[in-house]
Amino acid sequence: MKKFKLSLLVVSLMFGTQTIAYEKGDWVVRAGLTSVVPDESSSNILLGGQDLGVGLTVDNNTQLGINLAYFLTDKINVELLAATPFTHDVNFSVTDPLGTGNQLGEVTQLPPSLLVNYYFLGADSPVQPYVGIGLNYTLFFDDSFTDANKAAGLNDLSLDNSFGVSAQLGFDVPINDKWHINGSVRWIDIDTEASFNLNGTSGRVADIEIDPFVYSILIGYTF
Ligand code: NI
């Protein structure tokens, strides 16, 4: 199915016969692949106030991305972005600092976002590019250490939820009157703080900037 639609996309790109334009009152629903690629930096792990000289890194993850948009005018829509939960490996910034491996644990997050998008072409076109800006709320849950770190006495990992801005660039390429292919690159400001416990001593990482780029390839339907 995906191959079929991709070949339709190639045909429409080659011939440019299919055009698309939105109208006030249109709804668009999209689903496909969304990748969260952190551009992270973190402060060092503090244990009982002592700086361990080690920070954290966060790996990429890809999930089912879903979004729903409503056109307030012919050129402006409001879009809610959702996805199945992203689970990221969290690693130490240096090799095996505690003798428990390179991975500290993993975190799962949901980053729902509400954006306002501006379609600057407006009129019928074989491609409809847009820019958007809005707000993101990221919920962290199921934060856990690896078994080796648990065995070393680490527990109670918890990350604060994050509230921040999000911006994106995207485009729609029509397959026919109803269906289109959508691509977007989004940036989200996601900042958090982690706390944990090591054999009764409390630890924290005060500043974790995840700030991911989020890439989506979706199939959309207008109704
Ligand atoms: Ni940030």
137-191 pLDDT, tens digit each = 999 998 999 999 999 999 999 999 999 999 999 999 999 989 999 999 999 999 9
pTM of the model: 0.88
Cβ neighbours of residue 113 closer than 8 Å, sequence gap 6 or more: 80, 81, 134, 135, 136, 137, 166, 186, 188
- 174 alpha carbon – ligand 1 mean position (Å): 35
Tell me the pLDDT tens digit for each residue of 74-91: 999 999 999 999 999 999
Q: Are 203 and 196 in contact (CB under 8 A)?
A: yes
Cα 41 to ligand 1 centre (Å): 9
Q: For 7-64, write each residue's pLDDT tens digit.
A: 656 655 554 678 888 999 999 999 999 999 999 999 999 999 899 999 999 999 999 9
In one-letter notation, the amino acid at residue 53 is G
Q: Which two tokens stand for residue 60?
A: 């990429």
Q: Ligand 1 centre from 58 Cα, in Å?
A: 14
Burial letters 59-85, b for 16+ CB under 10 A, else e: eebeeebbbebebeeebbbebebebee
> 212 alpha carbon to ligand 1 midpoint, in Å?
9
pLDDT value of position 101? 93
The answer for residues whose C-beta is within 8 angstroms of residue 150's C-beta and 6 or more apart is: none
Report pLDDT for 19.
87
Q: How far is the CA of 164 from the centre of ligand 1 (A)?
A: 8
CATH of 2-222, one of 2.115.10.20, 2.40.160.20, 2.40.50.100, 2.30.110.10: 2.40.160.20
Tokens standing for 132? 């958007």
Residue carrying the six token digits 């990992």: 157
What are the structural domain ranges in the chain? Answer: 2-222
Measured in angstroms, how far is the CA atom of residue 189 from the centroid of ligand 1?
A: 5
Instruction: Supply the pLDDT for residue 31.
Output: 98
